[in-house]
Structure 1
Amino acid sequence: MGSHRKGAARRRATAPAGRDGYFDLLRAVALVRVVAYHTFGWAWAGMVFPSMGVMFALAGTLMARSLRRPALTVIRGRVRRLLPPFWFWGFFVVTAMLVHGWMPGWRIVYWIVPLGDPPGSAWAEQAWDVVWYLRTYLWFVLLSPLLLRVFRLSPVVVLVLSLVPVVVLTYVWQPPEGRLGSALTDLATFLFCWLLGFAHHEGVLGRLRPLAVAVASLAALAYGGWYALAHRSAYGGTYDLDDDPLAQAFWSAGFVTLLMYAKEYAGLVGPSRSRLVTVFNARAVTIYLWHEVALILAVPLIDRFWEVPAFEAHLPLESQWFLFGVGWVLIGGFVLACGWVEDVAARRKPTLLPGGRAARMGA
């Protein structure tokens, strides 16, 4: 153990202050899994790789790192980087809904700052339903200065206790219907993962014994997996973690802890020079926001392919894998057409395709 900790400390001391290739790879895999889930609808996808837990943990790590600077400055920077891409995407989604007869009330203000779920028409629900992640992320950003203070009082105890809120919402107190209940549930579900990011940045994970981490993580996985399978009838007969907050919280806690501790223990690194991974990370918000729009547009586009005899004869137009491929082509188009907004939001020089030089893990 002593040599491992010394080696890990040397790696942290000599690591460049730029991007973390391992975390960048995890974020890229998480985004691919999200698109795959929304294409194929695999109920088991969340168990194979809990993307949202991974993304919240990585965001928590970056937030803790940024909070070495004044909290208000950090929050302002995070909000500035999030809202312009959201506004740009929202302009097209809201316009399309208005054209199709939707008329919003005062809650349209949530399309300006998504502190609650923005309203929308059923016609475009597949497109705007993804905003829950931005809403939860925004609340975690706003709460992070306080959360980090509490976490530092007793890191391991606070980390373990962060699973209590989702247990309370499941067994003790039913959250209210609507926006408030949804926000509370999502915050409780992913609170552990966000604080796990704090634990990584603060060096708490690196100080834990491998056996203790393994036992605790496997216990969380076992409980989350058992709950998902045993309570399928309460969630539409499926074991999809996205429908089951308690199972999602515990499964993500165990899975993501192992992923992040593996980096500390084994010094795992990722493909830091991969242009593809760099693009995924520099355009993460664009990919996330526009991927459902891409999948929606892919369906009528493939329908047109049937009108071309050569396509009908030689392309697997009925295959979901073909839809997946066409969806990624359209996502690539949105990255090229809309990704520059992320550069503007981050006060970088807009580029058509990022990755020409190493990017910094800034605020």
Structure 2
Amino acid sequence: MGAHRKGAGPAAGLPAAGGRDRYFDALRALALVRVVAYHAFGWPWAGLVLPSMGIMFGLAGTLMAGSLRRPAPTVIRSRLRRLLPPYWFWGLFVVAAMLVHGWMPGWRIVYWVVPLGDPPGDAWAEQVWEILWYLRTYVWFVLLSPLLLRLFRLAPVPVLLLSLAPALVLRFAWQPPEDRLGSALTDLATYLFCWILGFAHHEGVLRRLRPGAVVPLCVAALACGGWYAFADRAAYGTYDLDENPFAQALWSAGAVTLLMHAKARLGTGCAGPARFPRLDRLVTVFNARAVTIYLWHEIALVLAVPLIDLCWRVPAFEAYLPLGSQWFLFGVGWVLIVVFVLLAGWVEDVAARRRPRLLP
């Protein structure tokens, strides 16, 4: 589990087919910005400020529960259809670059077709392909959702609380193998609570729970997650939640529950962006191009480095631009992300059976 891989995540919450919820849209956009910032700066405290992956899995669980009013096979096909074409388009370039670089895949190249396991790749492009853990985890949650939703409806609150049990087992009872299977099991266990929490929001369970019961439990989860993050620094070499699955599970559970309970119980909205048309438009673009931004942002950050190196050869740029600043790299990265959104974002429209557009 590399330091850069866990703080990312699309935005598995694909845009809803019906009306928009601007509160969730704004959360998803903020999560994407935090993902890019984390990968550009490597801030270990970023997950403590905004657990972007927990948010994205929670929002995706809400959308999945709503979609399962239709037959499960239809819903699963629809979700995969909207995810896989952007993944294939991006993968064509990544796989081709690795092949040119001398990489030769084995049978696991099938995971570049459907990411049921971690797609293979060479170390040269590891920063680019390692983010695919999120797609693999998302696909498995989608496949398991019909069963998980049935279990949840049998006993909503107990199932929600028990969804933390796998993380507890992996932390205290059984050490998963340090291979692809172990990584997949760890990721599923870490974010299972957030996915089930999305069910709880959609089914109205969160709305019925009183703040007096929810808030103390959330504070306790945050306290325990923070304690384990800092107590395990010697073992993991950092307090970064992305390196500590158990701390991540607890912290994400507490923080995402508070965010979603506020929405369910208090009717929290997000009217701020609507008062600023350009900001509101930006939120819309982020949500409609979430998969594109997630997949291409690491390539943008990687390409920003040689571009900045070229700028050092121009005396005027060297004199007046902060070429050595990480913030400058962050800015160049976003410029390249915009370019990739314009060049590749239309694939998301095709996948969703919409008319292709440069910007939604």
- Decide: shared fold, TM above 0.5: yes
Q: How does 1:209-224 map to 2 (within 5 A)?
A: 209-224=210-225
Corresponding residue to 1:350 among 349, 353, 356: 356
Structure 2 Cα separation of the partners of residues 318 and 198 of structure 1: 46
- The gaps in structure 2 that reach 5 residues or longer are 1-16
Letter in 2 for 1:23: F
Partner of 1:151: 152
**SS in structure 1 opposite 2:292?**
helix
Q: Which residue of 2 aligns with 1:194?
A: 195
- CA distance in 1 between partners of 2:162 and 2:183 (Å): 21
Secondary structure of the equivalent of 2:118? coil
Equivalent position of 2:337 in the other structure: 331
RMSD: 1.0
Structure-to-structure mapping, 1:1-363, within 5 angstroms: 17-235=18-236, 237-270=237-270, 271=273, 274-354=280-360
Distance 1:101 1:253 in 2: 42
Runs of 4+ in 1 over 4 A off after TM superposition: none
User: Mind listing any 5+ residue stretches in structure 1 that lack a counterpart?
Assistant: 1-15, 355-363
Partners of 1:121 and 1:299 lie apart in 2 by: 20
Higher mean displacement: 204-213 or 270-279: 270-279
Residue correspondences, number: 338
The C-alpha deviation readout for 1:84-130, integer Å capped at 9, x for no partner, is 00000000000000000101011100100000001000000000000
Identity of aligned residues (%): 77
TM-score by length of 2: 0.93
Tell me what 2:6 maps to.
none
CA deviation string 1:161-197 (max 9, x = no partner): 1001011011101112211111100000000000000
Spell out, residue by residue over 1:307-345, the C-alpha distance to the aligned partner (whole angstroms, 9 max, x if none).
Answer: 111111111000000000000000000000000000000
Contact 2:84–2:114 (CA<8 Å) still a contact in 1? Answer: yes
Compute the displacement of 1:246 (Å).
Answer: 0.2
Residue type of the partner of 1:159? L
1:264, distance to aligned residue in structure 2 (A):
1.7
Between 257-266 and 184-193, report the one with greater CA deviation: 257-266
Could you say what secondary structure the match of 1:129 adopts? helix
Instruction: Give the partner amino acid of 2:312.
Output: W
TM-score (norm 1): 0.92
Distance 2:340 2:104 in 1: 27
Q: Distance in 2 between matches of 1:265 and 1:165?
A: 28
Deviation at 1:211, TM superposition (A): 1.2
Bigger relative CO (Cα 8 Å, ≥ 6 apart): 1
Helix, strand or coil at the partner of 1:216:
helix
AA aligned opposite 1:338: A
CA distance in 2, matches of 1:166, 1:17: 34
Q: Structure 1: which amino acid aligns with 2:265?
A: Y
Which moves more between the two structures, 257-266 or 32-41? 257-266
Please give the alpha-carbon distance, in whole angstroms, between the structure 2 residues aligned to 1:173 and 1:219. 24
Structure 2 SS opposite 1:332: helix
Looking at structure 1, the residues matched to 312 and 215 of structure 2 have their Cα atoms a distance apart, in angstroms, of 52
